[in-house]
Amino acid sequence: MAKTNRRKPYYTLREIYARWAMDADDISAYVLEGELCLSLPVAALLMEVSDTHQAADGRIRVEPKGRQHQVGPIDLSRIDAYAVMQSGAGQIARFLSSAGELLEPIDEDGERHTLLVKRAQLVVRHDELERFEMEHDLGHASEPLPSAPVPSRTWPTPSARGAPARHDWEECLCELGAIAHDEGLPETQAPLVRRMMDWFSTTYGPENVPSESAVKQRVSRFYHRLRGDDPRGATPPPPRRRGPAPAHGKNGRANT
């Protein structure tokens, strides 16, 4: 199958296999680790739309917003996507919009139901493809996919799109800063990595925890920079200024 060099809103798994020289098992591994988000294209599918937030007790609360007909790709959780990749199909009851809203299929009477999702139906959105290729250094200079302006949306947070929105690295760094300020740095970075993994799970839910390698990368940069052993943060000493050596007379005193 020829590789495409045309920008599309999303790409089939067959196109992804060819473009990245991967197979279904490779894609499944990235999906399960939360490093790649898979989506399902739908057309005018009636959904119950809800916002999610963390309550004071640390639990994730769901606030229904109403019904809406969804058009375009909707995202699967990594657990559901992995199950479909492995089994070839699966009954899915919950999805996420590109803005991170919870989507639940319903009928005209408001009764929730599941969707039969087949592996052949799964796609990767264009922005998710670009993010994954940048993060994993998968350059394709010979077959560029030109960026296009993102159309305006009615979502409350239009800049939040798919998997990246669920991994709030800015808030993660704020939490790391608070820990360092209140408790200081541990002897090694390993406890911080474990703590931030737990923080993501508690704050955003166990379905939205990034991979350990992604967390470790951010923690490592923060940890070493704060300790002062990050070579990028070190300031080189000023060069020593050398002037001409003074001439000395026979008595050992400098001539003036």
Please write the tens of the pLDDT for every residue from 97-108: 988 889 999 988
For 227-256, what is the mean pLDDT? Answer: 56
pLDDT interval class at 88 (50, 70, 90) = very high
pLDDT number for residue 140: 56
Residue 114 clears pLDDT 90, i.e. is over it: yes
| Residue 211 pLDDT grade (very low, low, confident, very high; cuts 50, 70, 90) | confident
pLDDT at 217 over 60: yes
Q: Which helix (H) or strand (E) holds 81?
A: helix 78-87
Average pLDDT on 174-196 reads: 88
Could you give the CA distance from residue 6 to residue 9 in angstroms, rounded to a whole number?
10
Q: What percent of the chain has pLDDT above 90?
A: 38
Using the predicted structure, report yes or no on whether residue 13 has a pLDDT greater than 60.
Answer: yes
Q: What angle do CA 214, 219, 222 make, to 5 degrees?
A: 135
Burial of residue 153 (CB within 10 Å: 0-12, 13-18, 19+) is middle
pLDDT tops 70 at residue 81: yes
For residue 237, name the pLDDT band (cuts at 50, 70, 90). low
pLDDT digits (tens, 9 = 90+) for 40-74: 999 989 999 998 877 777 677 788 889 999 999 99
Residue 39 and residue 73 in contact, taking contact as beta carbons nearer than 8 Å: yes
Q: CA 10 to CA 127: how far, in whole Å?
A: 8
What pLDDT does 244 receive? 57
Q: Across-strand partners of 50?
A: 64, 102
Please give the radius of gyration of the chain, using alpha carbons only, rounded to the nearest integer.
26
Is 215 a residue whose pLDDT tops 50? yes
Q: Is the pLDDT of residue 117 over 50?
A: yes
Helix (H) or strand (E) holding 115: strand 115-118
Rounded mean pLDDT, 12-38: 95
